[in-house]
Copies of this chain bind each other. A is one copy, B any other.
């Protein structure tokens, strides 16, 4: 499960930036090297996060990317959402009409699980990632 690779990179990049926040703006090249991820593609990804209000970018020497909000105010949902397909529906079987009003056969049962996942992304913050025991960290 089940994030696409762009969203996964976004999470890892934001985490890296948060970890290095003390040193000022973090350059794309540093993030890319750390994640072993293609530079220009990552640049596009970070730019998308800037448009989404998650990161702030500054150009020129000493430039780079910074978090807009403190880590405990940054839910993972905000990092991940810009990379989800546009009008994604929640129906397990992809029925266009499915919803609380016209539920498909599995709607209610699936809703409980789907809500659990959404809650995870809404209530887990970047601060939760930073709090982890450093011994179990890997880049």
Residues of chain A at the chain B interface (Cβ within 8 Å): 1-3, 5, 8-9, 11-12, 15, 88, 90, 92-95, 97-98, 102-107, 109-110, 113-114, 116-117, 120, 124, 128-130, 132, 136-138
Contact = CB atoms under 8 A, between A and B. Distances in A.
A109 to B, nearest CB: 6
Contact of A92 (B8, B98, B107, B113): B8
A110 B120 contact: yes
A120 B128 contact: no
Nearest to A11: B93
Contacts of A107: 136
A83 to B, nearest CB: 12
A124 B109 contact: yes
Contacts of A11: 92-93
12 contacts: A1-B114, A3-B93, A3-B94, A11-B92, A12-B93, A15-B93, A97-B138, A105-B136, A105-B137, A106-B124, A106-B132, A113-B117
